[in-house]
Structure 1
Amino acid sequence: MPAEPTGFMHGCIYLANAGAYELAAKIFQFHRKTNILHSVFTLKVTDSGD
């Protein structure tokens, strides 16, 4: 009996980790895109400002 819950917990933890990793990857990609856009925007603003 004890083997079943631990296996279930292990599966849940594995799924949670996989989901978190996927989410983190999506956030990272989105953040990187917005960062590039932000840098370009900032450069354009500072150029036109001067």
Structure 2
Amino acid sequence: MPPAAPVTSCCTVNWHGPDDGVAPMFAAYRGAVAGVLGAVAEQVRLGGHA
């Protein structure tokens, strides 16, 4: 296994909805991004390719 190296990621959201929809949208967005990053971390842990 190669030595560890720093990894970065970027997830972007473009919000065009009403101001009162920002908080619930970001809560859902945070959950979705956490799921994606968790799946990638699991693949790295298992030695696979994400």
Give the TM-score normalised by structure 2. Answer: 0.54
Calculate percent identity across the aligned residue pairs.
0
Q: Detail structure 1 runs of 4+ shifted over 3 Å in the superposition.
A: none
Unaligned runs of 5+ in 2: 1-17
Q: Could you say which structure has the higher helix fraction?
A: 1
Q: Which has the higher contact order (CA 8 A, sep 6+)?
A: 2
Q: Which has the larger radius of gyration?
A: 1
Unaligned runs of 5+ in 1: 1-10, 43-50
The count of aligned residue pairs is 31
Cα RMSD after superposing both structures: 1.9
